[in-house]
Structures are given as structure tokens and as C-alpha cells.
Structure 1
Amino acid sequence: MNYNEALNWIHGRLRLGMKPGLKRMEWMMEKLDHPERRTKFVHIGGTNGKGSTVSFVRTILQSAGYEVGTFTSPYIEQFNERISVNGVPISDEEMVLLAKKIIPLAEELEKTELGGPTEFEVITAMCLYYFGYVHPVDIVVMEVGLGGRFDSTNVIHPLVSVITNIGMDHVNILGHTIPEIAFEKAGIIKVGTPVVIGEQKEVAIQTIEDVASSRKAKIYQIGREMKVLDHVSNVEGEQFTLVTPFKTYSHLQTTLKGTHQVGNAALAIMTIEYLKAYYAFLVDEEHVYEGVKNTYWPGRFEELMSEPTLIVDGAHNQEGIDSLADTIKKRFPKQKVNILFAGLGDKPLKPMLEKLEDIADSLYITTFDFPRAAGIQDLHSLIESSSATYVEEWKAWLTDLIHTGKNDDVLIITGSLYFISEVKQYFQTIKISK
């Protein structure tokens, strides 16, 4: 088996779709001699901000000299980045090794009443086996795939759990109300294991508190146990002060832009503070400052070029679009803003597009090669004013705009992270010569 064959086999599992539940994962963990019991974890769930929070935690710990594994999804630049060590994706050879280990198990599992594992279950099992037996690290920061209670990552028992926020996403699977979705997200809370939360909605907080109380899990919440003060947006990104039960950090600076990134950084720092206080992780103040400043996460208000300004942002749901709109207003109050959007058909597209219409001087809509992608006609029918412009061939359109756009214009490309991944890969192939 070579790398492409391994990747094709993994992607072939997509035909099984989503199958919530932990039985198949528990079966594979038993067969693999429980690699999930050999590793220390931080478990991060929520609707938005999971990836950025993972990156903040990882970079701070890495600044302190720890070797940190991460598990994230979806990927932006290459598939292997879903399993990384100190931010470096595992090698193609390691991916093949892991596939060879899991394929026989998947085939055996397929013959049972449980049925075969999904793509995400396969990748989760590969990750846990990798960090349990192939390349042990000091700690693994693991991002939830979808929901929490029945997500395949929920076979781990972390040192601390994190829930970033709760939004109306994946409603057909997680529920149609905030309390229902919050209950699913709170499913990652383990007995006696603390949870750090960034949620601000009272109905969601109440649900999380009920679950935490039933499991005797202490809560650390933004606005209560930790407070953000003196936040200002500057040229470099965001500057703020954070007060935790353990320490005050004045004038922290992150290059990730947007108020929501301040919240993500705060959750990460609180998580680090807990690891320091109760698990003897040796992280000094300077490591926190350095880690927050050096954190990078692709596809989140990421500037690809400056003349004209080209930014990609994976705002793939209503909460993401709201945060993007807020950041655009703060960052570009006087410039002409063009927005190109492509999204998935199972998202609440109408309110997302209406928000983008309000903020954009010119809104363009397109589609891309992905099974769940919404078609251009589907998107256009959702915009009542019909002020958006169709873009049939977004690659040619983007190349032309880069060469003909004015230097003071701003182009924001947003929507599905799968689309952002395609844009970034295409951007690497074109030569800019203005």
C-alpha cells in the first residue's frame, strides 16, 4: 500500500456517512489494546473556535518545551495535518503505517452487527494508536469532530475539557434548540474532570452547569472565574489583559484577528493554568506571552496577500459569519469590501447570506467540488434582493481580480472550511505579477 492508496481507502469510508455512537470506537480501542489509556489529553469541543483554541494551547505548551500532539478537522492545507506533532503533520509513511493497522480492524468490524467504522472513526482510531504506541508525546490536544456526547473522540479521559461556545449548527443531528445542542456538547465532561467554557448564552450555560454538577466537575467560565479586560484591536491583531483565579496577564498580544480570538486565547490560558496548578506542567509566564503571540491557525481571517488585501476566513455557520462581520467592521471601516462565499447545503445559508449582504460592498457567490456544497442557484435563490453576483469559475475570477483590483480594495473569501482549503491550495499555484 502506498500513500495515495491509504488516503483513498480512508476517504472511501465517507460512503458510510455519520453514525453517532461510541460502540465501534470502543470495539477498536479494545482490539488495539487501549491506546487512549496511555496518553494525557485536553479535550476541546464547541461550535466555533475549537481549532484556534487547540492551536493556542499547543503553542503555549510548545513554548514551554513540551512535545504536543494535536488532532483537528477538517484539514486546510494537507490531510496529514489532522494528526500533528508540535504543529508538524505526520509523514506519508506514518499515515500508511496507521492505515495498515486499522484496515484489518475495519474489515473485521464490518462483519459484526455494529457495522463498519466511518471515515472520522477511522482517523480518530489512527490518531489514538499513533500517540499511544507509535509516537508518544507529553500531551495531546484533541478537537471534537461533531457534538461531543457521541463523537468518536469521546472515548478519551482528559485532564481538562473545554467547550468554546454553543451555536445552531448540525441541528438535524444535535437538536433544534440551544439547550439540546448544549447537552450534546457537554457530553465530553467527565466525572471529576474540570471544564473551561466560553459560552455566554444563559440557557446553554444552565445546561452545561447541570451536566457538570451531576458529574462533580468544576467549571471555569469566561466572565466569571476569568475576565478579559482592556481589549483593543491593533495592527498586529488583538491586545488584552486576562485575569484568572491563578494570575493576571497584562497586555497579551495575539496576531489572530477578531474579538472571538481573544475568547479562544483566554480559554487556552485558563486550561494551561489548570494544568500548571494540578498536574505540575511547568509553564512560565513568558511561555504564555510567547505562545499567545506566536499562535497561527490557517483559514481564520488569514491574510494571503496585502496589495490588494486578500483574506480567507472559514466562517461556515451563523456564529462564524457574525464574528467575521464584526471583524470586518472594525478592520476595514472605510475600504471597499468584496466578499466571495461558498457554503454547504446543510447550513442555515439564508441568514448567513443576508448578513454578508449587509457588510459587503459587492457580494459574489460560487460553488466548489464537494458532495455537500450548495449550488450557485440554491444560494442565489436565498437572497431576496438578488444583489449578489454569480461566479461560475471562481479560480479564473480570483486570478483576474488579483491582477486588476485596486490596492486599497479588500477581498474576503469565506464560507465552508472545505472551500477555504481549495482556495489556499489554488493560491499556492498561481503567480502574482501586478
Structure 2
Amino acid sequence: MFTTYEEAVSWIHSRLRLGVKPGLKRMEWMMEKLDHPERRIKSIHIGGTNGKGSTVTYLRSILQEAGYVVGTFTSPYFEQFNERISLNGMPISDEEIVRLANDIYPLSLELEESEFGGPTEFEIITAMALQYFGRVNPVDIALFEVGLGGRFDSTNIILPILSIITSIGLDHTGILGETHTDIAFEKAGIIKPGVSIVTAVKQGDALQIIKNIAIEKKATMYSLGSQFLINEHVSRDTGEGFTQQTPFRKWENLEISMFGKHQTENASLSVMAIEILNKYYSFLIEDEHVYSGLKKAYWPGRFEVVSNTPLVIIDGAHNEEGIEALVSELEKRYPDNKKNIIFTALSDKKLDNMINKLDAIADKITFVEFNYPRAARAENLFDLSRNKNKQYNKNWAMTLEENIRTVKADEVLIVTGSLYFLSEVKPYISKYLEK
């Protein structure tokens, strides 16, 4: 058993060696042993390729404005591990992490000796979150972000009142399948019988897969572009503005503080979800809660300007769709600035396509690497690039400092790639700039 926070977190992270083990058998076994805390939680399940974290943030912010106590389970963390399990946007305490780890540790030992094998890191953290929101500190509602896929993801043990699928992209193809329809089938695994599904999936074939499963499960489906629409989108210096039409009403002049057209789509999912909660689940959420909640919502590492002088942006563009959104936003907001990019990613991504898109806009690109089991090597990333002004350096901290020091007035420094990388970079940049 653990007596310190460091011991508990070290044990949890040690489970990374088990990698990804799809399936719900270990989760079902642990929930049975814990007397099913997941059944005590009113929850919303959020899956998809991109936009999960932002959608969770918009929903949490609106619900908090309405006075609800909101739990969130997200990944990865940005500054401290505890962020994975948060209460009203605040990470739970070190002491609570120790308590939860001690609840799960004996079960992990038992599982090791069973036919199912020991739980993975993500399964342990998921079980901790369910125990926390179900028994230790019950909440009005909990928002659970899917880790990988959906059908066999450990979070799929929950019985939500609403499901959301943000988008579909070709990510984790080695596990989820090579096509949009393959991936849509896995993502649609979170749809439960009779539970409404809200989605922003655009690809026709992928959307049809989701629709077919929704019909099979008798789950009412609300699709962006069909049942609800975004109109009058305008980009501003402070974020984005848009109007939204739903089956129930029209929302004029909604505003968000996060940048990018894709963020209006994530926000529209949250507005549609809020209307369903109001209409069918007796939540009391007023118009002002929606407007102020959207405006206040903040999620780190999403086209985030961490410094204006020098101009430094961090963005967790960790797959091809994310890179496309980043490139589009850079071209729109900084058309005249030279673009200096620092990039790294996980080795299981479609790296050639991602790097090609960055090459097209980069005046200079530097590839780095970081300490993570699936991280790509800087030299391998460098070899994939066709940019004429490219270099690599294994030491990302040295690269970062050197580039921040030399940013010119007509340049923008963009640090992008893996969210796991950015979780190390952001606090480092903050401390460096304070100097």
C-alpha cells in the first residue's frame, strides 16, 4: 500500500509497460469488486478523434455556471497528473490520489493472478475516477473522455445519459482500423440503447455507420449539419463568434475564447448537449449560463498564445486533422509572419502526412524528441521532412530556449505535436519566460 503521492503515481505510471489492452473484462471485474460505483454516477460520455477535451471543457464550464458540481475525467494532463480527475475544473488532491490508488492496488494484485491479467495504466486511472465520482466525492454530473476508440475503451463501462462523438479521423489506425468507417464503428461503440447521441462527424460513410448503430440501439441522433447548424461564423482577435440553430431554438451571437473554426464545432456540440439535458433530464440551465460558460471555457494547448512578445504559440496537433486545423488557423491569423515550427510526435502516427503539411508553411522547422515510450526519434522525423530549412535536436529544452531567444518581430514560434510533449513544454516555457 502507498503512504506518499510519489509512490502512488510511480506505481500507476509503471503500468504503462503493459501498453494498450482493449476489452472490458478487467474493468467489469474491478467494478464488481468495488460494488459498482459507475452505476451511481450521472454521466456524459465523449468520444471522437479530435475535440474531446475542448468539448468536455465547454460542457463543464456551462454546467458550472449553472451551479452544478461537475466531475471530469480527461487525458493527458498538462501540468500535474491529478488533472486527469478533476472537480469543477480543479485537480483532486495528492491525498485523494493516494487514497484512490490504495483502493485499486489490491484489485490489481488479484487481477495479475487471474485469467484476465493485470490492469493497464489507463484502466487503473479510469477505475480511480469511477470510485471517486461514485463514492468518495459524488458529483451532480461527470464528463468522461474516451481514451482510445470507444467500443473496448475502459470508460465504456459507464451507463451515460448522453453520448457525444466529436469527429472521426485516421488516428490509431493500427488498433482502430485503416478507414474512416472502421474507426467510426469503434467510436460508435459508446452508443447505448435509448441514449441520445450528438455528433460532429462529417465523412458521409463514417456518419452512416454511426447512424445505423444509433437506429439499431434506438438512440436519437443529433448530427451537426443536419439536426443542428452553425451559421454566421466570424473569427475575432479574442476568439470566435457564431450563431447556432437547433431543433428547439436559435442561439444568436455565441462567443468562445478558443481559436479556430473547429472550436465552434466543439462548442456547438456542448450547446446541443445542454439543450438535451434541459429538455429531457430536468437540468436547469439558463441562457446566461450557456453564453458565459462558452466565453469562459479554457483548455490548455489548443492554439494557445503563451507569449505575445516574443510571439509563441503551442498547439496539441497530434494527428493529421489536428495539423490541418493548425495550418489553417496560422494562415488565417498570421499570414505575414514567418513561421518557425518545433515539432515532435508519437511514432504510431501518420507522420509523413503530418510533416508534409507543416513543411508547406514552415520557414524553419526543428524536430525534437521527448521521454515517452511511444515517442518518435528526432532523426526519424527529420528524415521524413522535405523542408529546405530543417534541423533536429534531441534536446527539446535547449532547442526551445534557443528559438525563444531568437524570435524576430516578424516571426511566430509554434511548438506543436504530441499532447504528452506539450504537457512538459508548457510549464517549462512559463518558467523560462518569467526569467
1:278 and 2:280 correspond: yes
Q: What amino acid does structure 1 have at the position aligned with 2:46?
A: I
User: Of 193, 204, 207, which aligns to 1:205?
Assistant: 207
Is 1:309 the equivalent of 2:311?
yes
SS, match of residue 239 in structure 1: strand
Counterpart in 2 of 1:165? 167
Q: CA deviation at 1:383?
A: 1.8
Q: Is 1:343 aligned to residue 334 of structure 2?
A: no
> What amino acid is the match of 2:40?
R
Q: Render the CA deviation track for 1:21-67: whole Å, top value 9, x for unaligned.
A: 00100000000000000010000000000000000000000011101
The residue aligned with 1:223 is 225
**Residue correspondence of structure 1 range 239-318 to structure 2 within 5 A:** 239-318=241-320
Distance 1:33 1:392 in 2: 47
Match of residue 325 from structure 2 = 323
SS of 2:360's partner is: helix
Aligned amino acid, residue 411 of structure 2? D
Q: Which amino acid aligns with 2:36?
A: H
CA contact 1:403–1:432 (8 Å) conserved in 2: no
Tell me how far 1:360 sits from its aligned partner: 1.6
1:333 aligns with 2:325: no
Amino acid at match of 1:388: K
Q: Is the 8 A contact 1:380 1:386 kept in 2?
A: no
User: Which 10-residue stretch deviates more, 402-411 or 373-382?
Assistant: 402-411
Say which SS state the counterpart of residue 52 (structure 1) adopts.
Answer: helix
Are the structure 2 counterparts of residues 209 and 431 from structure 1 closer, same or farther at C-alpha, using a change threshold of 3 Å?
closer
TM-score by length of 1: 0.98
- How far did 1:334 drift? 1.0
Cα deviations by residue, 1:59-94 (Å, 9 ceiling, x for unpaired):
000011101000000111110000000000000000
How far has the Cα of 1:405 moved from its partner? 1.9
Gaps of 5+ in 2: none
**Match of 1:143, as an amino acid?**
E
Q: Deviations over 1:103-137 (max 9, x none)?
A: 00110111110111100000000000000100001
Q: Does the 8 Å CA contact 1:51/1:297 hold for their aligned counterparts? A: yes
72-81 or 382-391, larger mean C-alpha shift: 382-391
Residue aligning to 1:130: 132
Aligned-partner Cα distance in 1 for 2:335–2:106:
56
Whether contact under 8 Å (2:370, 2:394) holds in the other structure is no
- 1:396, distance to aligned residue in structure 2 (A): 2.1
Would you say 1:26 and 2:31 are equivalent positions?
A: no
Shift, 1:429, TM fit: 2.7
Residue equivalent to 2:377: 375
What number of residue pairs does the alignment pair up?
433
Q: Give the superposition deviation at 1:385.
A: 4.8
8 Å contact kept, 1:240–1:253: yes
Q: What is the aligned partner in structure 2 of residue 85 from structure 1? A: 87
Q: Following superposition of structure 1 onto structure 2, how do residues 410-429 of structure 1 map, counting pairs within 5 Å?
A: 410-429=412-431
What are the Cα deviations for residues 173-226 of structure 1, in whole angstroms up to 9, with x where unaligned? 111111111000000000000100001100100100111111001110111111
Q: Deviations over 1:212-265 (max 9, x none)?
A: 111001110111111100001010010000111122111111110011000000
Q: Secondary structure at the match of 1:359?
A: coil
Equivalence map 1:65-80=2 (5 Å): 65-80=67-82
Mapped contact 1:364–1:390 kept (Cα < 8 A): yes
- Contact preservation (8 Å) 1:183, 1:208: yes
User: Secondary structure of 1:426's match?
Assistant: helix
Q: What is the CA–CA distance in structure 2 between the aligned matches of 1:293 and 1:124, rounded to whole Å? A: 29
Partners of 2:363 and 2:389 within 8 A in 1? no
Residue 36 of structure 1 corresponds to 38
CA displacement at 1:294 relative to structure 2:
0.3
State the distance in 1 between where 2:120 and 2:101 align.
14
Identify which of 138, 142, 145 aligns with 2:144.
Answer: 142
Q: Which amino acid aligns with 2:48?
A: G
The TM-score, its normalising length taken from structure 2, stands at 0.98
State the SS of the aligned residue for 1:391. strand
Counterparts of 1:368 and 1:125, CA distance in 2:
28
Contact 2:367 2:379 in 1 (8 A): no
Per the TM alignment, residue 428 of structure 1 is displaced from its structure 2 partner at its CA by 3.0
Aligned to 1:48: 50
Unaligned runs of 5+ in 1: none
Please give the residue correspondences for 1:176-215 in structure 2 after superposition, counting only pairs within 5 Å: 176-215=178-217
For residue 44 of structure 1, give the secondary structure of its aligned residue in structure 2. Answer: strand
| Whole-angstrom distance in 1 between the partners of 2:393 and 2:13 | 29
Post-superposition shift, 1:309? 1.0
Q: Is the 8 A contact 1:307 1:408 kept in 2?
A: no
**1:386 offset after TM fit, Å?**
5.2
How far has the Cα of 1:432 moved from its partner? 4.4
In 1, distance between residues paired with 2:58 and 2:272?
A: 11
TM-aligned CA deviation for residue 394 of structure 1? 2.5
